[in-house]
């Protein structure tokens, strides 16, 4: 399935979302883009708040936008930062992504748009999901 995903376009969408970040406290801009199974892309940026715990990461913003539009199956995600090195999503975002795409691939990009892809299992091995709740 990964060979059918245009990761460069997804990384570009994440970089564009990063431009809208609201991060006056950390000055750490992050953009994300998720690709749904029906090939729709939803972008998101980090949005900080003076009450730090109220802020939301870019990845979760993108997920919330997709889900609020009725798209609950995510097949890929891209994350873009202003760092020289490639940075992967935080633990909370890894868990949030896993909920909607346990088999997804995540492309993590640096400030120059160079990216590396990871599987969900690489970023969140032995993960917990809805199937463990005994539904």
From 37, 48, 59, 131, active-site residue: 59
Question: Is the pTM higher than 0.85?
Answer: yes
Residue 35 main-chain phi, psi, to 5 deg: -110, 120
85 is catalytic: no
pLDDT at 2 over 80: no
The pLDDT-based confidence of 122 (bands split at 50, 70, 90) is: very high
pLDDT of residue 135: 60
Average pLDDT score over the chain: 96
pLDDT at 134: 77
| pLDDT tens digits for range 56-80 | 999 999 999 999 999 999 999 999 9
Nearest to 59 by CA among 123, 121, 3, 5: 123
Domain architecture of the chain: domains with CATH = 2-122 (3.40.140.10)
């Amino acid at each position: 399935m990964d060979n059918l995903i245009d990761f460069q376009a997804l990384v570009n969408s994440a970089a564009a979302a990063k431009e809208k970040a609201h991060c006056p406290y950390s000055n750490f801009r992050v953009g994300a883009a998720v690709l749904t199974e029906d090939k729709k892309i939803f972008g998101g940026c980090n949005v900080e708040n003076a009450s730090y715990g109220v802020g939301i990461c870019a990845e979760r913003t993108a997920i919330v936008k997709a889900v609020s539009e009725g798209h609950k199956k995510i097949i890929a995600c891209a994350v873009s930062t202003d760092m020289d090195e490639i940075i992967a999503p935080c633990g909370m975002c890894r868990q949030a992504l896993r909920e909607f795409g346990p088999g997804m691939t995540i492309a993590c990009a640096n400030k120059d748009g160079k990216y590396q892809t990871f599987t969900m299992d690489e970023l969140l091995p032995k993960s917990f999901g809805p199937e463990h709740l005994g539904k």
